[in-house]
């Protein structure tokens, strides 16, 4: 069983304050049931059906605890050990690289315990600011738990997705260069100018704070053993898929080249004189009648077979043959490429031919019937013609 390190606050689950009444608990439960209950699921809730069902189970559990006075008292006493601080800390420092941990456990100085505590402090400070400024309860969304080494990877993705897209609700008014007293000492025009300066300082401070928190999440993700293991697994899968694709391409290329080689007809100029003479080439017969010999490669004629054979052993002739063979190899390669490029067209044409087979067969039958009729007519005409000839 996976051990969970996430601390659940049932008041936050129902969107209530700790001093709420039983009536408030019932109202919150019925309101949230209309949104997340499986029988009343609607995609407008912003969750999938499974996520909504899981959310409803959390709401139901929170309701069952808070509606019973004894269970609620036990939870309240337990909640005090990790309650969100009521005092907002504007000077909360977000660590980045100076976090030491020992091993990948969720206790002591383990990685998941140390980083989980840091992120919980950041969230607690956001919640304290929300309470201080009396902002709506849903202005701060509860982050997913960091989990531990045995947590499903889907929970890991949700955790880092939250913190890598973190946006603080704090307004950073304490970063104003000019306070209210300063503004009261200047003219209306000066107030507008200084207000713009204050707003610019707030935006800058908020951006820096958000970047620090996101950088903390990025650093934690870079060190998280679960992420490293998943990256290694995906890299292995990617290499395996690439290797399979490479082997598949090689096999297809080999098959296409073999098919092209089978369909390839050897050019006439590559055939030796003996082969053409053996198979009775008509051109060879003419050459014999004229008692002349010709080198097709070099386009030269000879008066005797001996001269032709001597020429075939010459360097010039061999060089010309080598050049032509190289040209043949290039042509064969081009043919293979054309076969590969037109493979899809051949498949399409085969499918198209299959569609018109029925129409072609029907047309052939009609033509065959027409020809048979014409043959019958012609046969009758020939009989009449022969009869007239005999009478004549």
Using 50, 70 and 90 to split pLDDT, how confident is the model at 251?
very high
pLDDT score of 342 more than 90: no
Cβ–Cβ under 8 Å, residues 213 and 168 = yes
Q: Which phi-psi region, left, alpha or beta, contains residue 172 (left: φ > 0; alpha: ψ -120 to 50)?
A: left
Q: What is the pLDDT of residue 380?
A: 46
Please state the rounded mean pLDDT for residues 363-371.
Answer: 50
What digits encode the pLDDT tens for the residues 111-134? 998 899 899 989 988 988 888 888
Predicted confidence at residue 272, as pLDDT, reads: 58
pLDDT over 60 (residue 366): no
pLDDT of residue 26: 92
Of 49-53, 212-216, 350-354, which range is least confident? Answer: 350-354
Give how far Cα 260 sits from Cα of 171, 265, 331, Å. 73, 10, 11
Q: Which residue has the tokens 């309470």?
A: 131
Other beta carbons within 10 angstroms of residue 340's beta carbon come to: 15
Using pLDDT thresholds of 50, 70 and 90, give the confidence band for residue 344. low
For residue 351, what is the DSSP state? H
Where do the domains of the chain lie, and which CATH numbers do they carry?
1-83 (1.10.287.110), 264-341 (no CATH)
pTM as predicted: 0.46
Q: Return the ∠ at Cα 50 (arms to 33 and 82), rounded to 5°.
A: 65
Q: Which long-range contacts (CB under 8 A, 24 or more apart) does 17-25 make?
A: 17/137, 18/76, 18/79, 22/67, 25/63, 25/66, 25/67
The band of 185, judged by pLDDT with boundaries at 50, 70 and 90, is low
Q: What is the per-residue pLDDT for 178?
A: 67
Judge whether 63 and 107 are in contact, CB under 8 Å. no
Q: Report whether 324 contacts 270 (CB < 8 A).
A: yes
């Amino acid at each position: 069983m996976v051990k969970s390190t996430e601390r659940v606050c049932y008041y936050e689950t129902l969107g209530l304050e700790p001093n709420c009444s039983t009536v408030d608990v019932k109202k919150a439960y019925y309101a949230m049931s209309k949104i997340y209950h499986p029988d009343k699921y609607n995609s407008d809730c912003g969750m999938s059906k499974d996520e909504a069902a899981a959310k409803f189970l959390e709401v139901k559990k929170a309701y069952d605890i808070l509606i019973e006075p004894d269970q609620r008292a036990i939870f309240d006493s337990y909640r005090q050990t990790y309650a969100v601080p009521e005092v907002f800390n504007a000077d909360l420092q977000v660590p980045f690289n100076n976090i030491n941990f020992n091993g990948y456990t969720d206790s002591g100085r383990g990685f998941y315990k140390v980083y989980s505590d840091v992120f919980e402090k950041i969230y607690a400070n956001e919640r304290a600011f929300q309470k201080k400024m009396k902002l709506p309860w849903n202005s701060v969304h509860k982050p997913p738990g960091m989990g531990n080494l045995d947590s499903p990877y889907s929970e890991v993705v949700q955790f880092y997705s939250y913190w890598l897209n973190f946006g603080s609700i704090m307004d950073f008014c304490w970063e104003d260069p000019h306070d209210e007293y300063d503004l009261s000492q200047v003219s209306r025009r000066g107030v507008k100018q200084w207000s713009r300066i204050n707003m610019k300082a707030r935006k800058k401070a908020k951006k820096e704070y958000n970047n620090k928190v996101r950088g903390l999440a990025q650093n934690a993700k870079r060190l998280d053993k679960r992420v490293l293991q998943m990256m290694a697994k995906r890299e292995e899968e990617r290499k395996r898929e690439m290797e399979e694709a490479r082997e598949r391409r090689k096999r297809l290329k080999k098959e296409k080249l073999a098919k092209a080689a089978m369909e390839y007809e050897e050019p006439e100029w590559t055939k030796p004189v003996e082969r053409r003479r053996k198979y009775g080439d008509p051109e060879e017969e003419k050459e014999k009648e004229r008692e002349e010999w010709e080198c097709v490669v070099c386009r030269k004629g000879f008066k005797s077979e001996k001269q032709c054979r001597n020429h075939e052993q010459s360097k010039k002739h061999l060089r010309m043959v080598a050049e032509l063979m190289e040209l043949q190899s290039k042509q064969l390669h081009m043919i293979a490429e054309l076969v590969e490029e037109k493979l899809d067209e051949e498949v399409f044409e085969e499918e198209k031919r299959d569609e018109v087979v029925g129409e072609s067969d029907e047309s052939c039958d009609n033509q065959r019937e027409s020809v048979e009729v014409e043959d019958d007519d012609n046969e009758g005409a020939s009989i009449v013609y022969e009869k007239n000839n005999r009478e004549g």
